[in-house]
Structures are given as structure tokens and as C-alpha cells.
């Protein structure tokens, strides 16, 4: 299976990076073909140009490369920290520029001329791993878990993906080494369950 792994974290010492390494190791050991993108490492430009917006094609060859891969991907795994209830800007830019019209979705007009989305992604499964410093109850009561809404509803459901799984690891800043090791075992178990 061709699996795209997208990491949005600027620090290779981070727990997010450890999640990415665990995901890639497990996927490769199971015989999958992995397309790994550390967005900060590769200098992904988050800013969509006016040309791109109007033409649904980019002059940035890295963006075109990402688009080609995401069309081919049979699995997509996204890894990032919770930053203000959102993905880091670099990853938001990846969504804007790569999951564009004609790549991830299209639109039909209804009888009133309003746009009706049609999901185009062929991936069999999407998995999102997040980290945060907010306890679960506070996250749900105060913030309503915006990352679930963003990734599940606004993005992947819109793009036609029903087989969606997400896991938030928390609270990172007070976690012990043992907890982190256990969390990485959970990551492996999730990969086993959905990709093996």
C-alpha cells in the first residue's frame, strides 16, 4: 500500500517526531511504500499564490509533487501538535495548496446553482495523530475539540474519506518517559490495526 505520512513539527527532538519515526518504521516493516514529508525540513511554502487559486495548478513543483502523491495514496497519516486548536500554519498551508479542487474534491452545481462537494480522494484510510497540553475534559468542555471537527468533518469527510481515525496524546508537558513509550506502543497498535 502507498502511504503518505505528513509531519508538521519544527523540532526533531519532539514527541511528534518520535510518532512519525514510529509510524514510518511500522509501515515499512509491514511492507508498505512510504512517502514521508517533514514539511519544515523540506521548506514547504504555506502560502498559496493568486495564480494557484484561480488556475488550480501550481508553479511550485513541490506542491505538484505532493498533489500527485496524495492522488495515488492508499493511506494518509498526518502528525502535528495542537497549536491554538489548529494545525501549525505550515500544515494549514499544505491543506490549502495540496488538497485543492481537482485533487481532493470537486464541485457539482445543484438546481439552484449552489456548489455540492464531491470527494475525490481514493485513500482507503486516514489517520491523524495529535499532541497537546490540555487535559481531555477541559479540551472537550472549553474548546469542543476543534481538531476533530477540522480534520474529520471540514477536510476528510468533504474529500470523500469515511474511514477516519484520530488519536490525541496528552498532556505532553507533564508526561513521563514510560507514558511516552506506552503512547508509541499505542501508535504501533493503531498502525497494526488499520494498515496490516
Ligand X SMILES: Cc1cc2nc3c(=O)[nH]c(=O)nc-3n(C[C@H](O)[C@H](O)[C@H](O)COP(=O)(O)O)c2cc1C
What is the contact surface with ligand X in residues (CB under 6 A)? 9, 14-16, 81-85, 131-134, 172
All three cell numbers of 87, joined, read 494545525
Q: Closest CB to ligand X among 81 and 93?
A: 81
- Short-list 80, 123, 124, 129, CA closest to 104: 123
d(CA 159, CA 84): 24
Asked whether the beta carbons of 152 and 191 are under 8 A apart, the reply is no
- Beta carbon of residue 83, minimum distance to ligand X (angstroms, whole number): 4
Cα–Cα distance, 36 to 1 (Å, whole number): 14
From the CB of 161, what's the least distance to ligand X, in Å? 24
Q: By C-beta, is 85 or 160 nearer to ligand X? A: 85
Task: Report in angstroms how near the CB of residue 172 gets to ligand X at its nearest.
Answer: 4
Nearer to ligand X, 12 or 165 (CB): 12
Q: Which residues contact 10 (CB under 8 A, 6 or more apart)?
A: 40, 88
Q: What is the DSSP string of 123-145?
A: -SEEEEEEE-SS-HHHIIIII--
Q: What's the min distance (Å) between Cβ of 54 and ligand X?
A: 31
If the CB atoms of residues 84 and 112 are measured against ligand X, the closer one turns out to be 84
Amino acid at each position: 500500500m502507498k502511504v503518505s505520512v505528513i509531519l508538521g513539527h519544527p523540532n526533531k527532538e519532539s514527541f511528534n517526531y518520535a510518532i512519525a519515526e514510529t509510524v514510518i518504521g511500522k509501515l515499512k516493516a509491514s511492507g508498505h511504500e512510504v512517502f514521508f514529508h517533514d514539511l519544515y525540513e523540506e521548506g514547504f511554502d504555506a502560502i498559496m499564490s493568486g495564480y494557484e487559486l484561480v488556475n488550480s495548478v501550481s508553479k511550485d513543483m513541490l506542491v505538484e509533487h505532493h498533489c500527485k502523491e496524495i492522488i495515488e495514496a492508499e493511506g494518509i497519516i498526518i502528525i502535528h501538535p495542537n497549536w491554538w486548536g489548529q494545525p501549525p500554519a505550515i500544515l494549514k498551508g499544505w491543506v490549502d495548496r495540496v488538497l485543492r479542487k481537482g485533487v481532493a474534491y470537486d464541485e457539482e452545481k445543484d438546481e439552484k446553482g449552489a456548489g455540492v462537494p464531491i470527494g475525490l480522494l481514493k485513500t482507503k484510510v486516514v489517520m491523524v495523530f495529535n499532541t497537546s497540553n490540555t487535559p481531555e475534559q477541559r479540551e472537550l468542555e472549553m474548546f469542543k475539540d476543534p481538531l476533530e471537527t477540522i480534520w474529520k468533518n471540514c477536510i476528510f469527510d468533504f474529500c470523500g474519506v469515511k474511514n477516519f481515525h484520530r488519536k490525541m496524546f496528552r498532556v505532553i508537558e507533564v508526561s513521563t518517559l514510560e507514558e511516552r513509550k506506552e503512547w508509541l506502543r499505542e501508535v504501533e497498535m493503531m498502525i497494526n490495526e488499520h494498515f496490516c
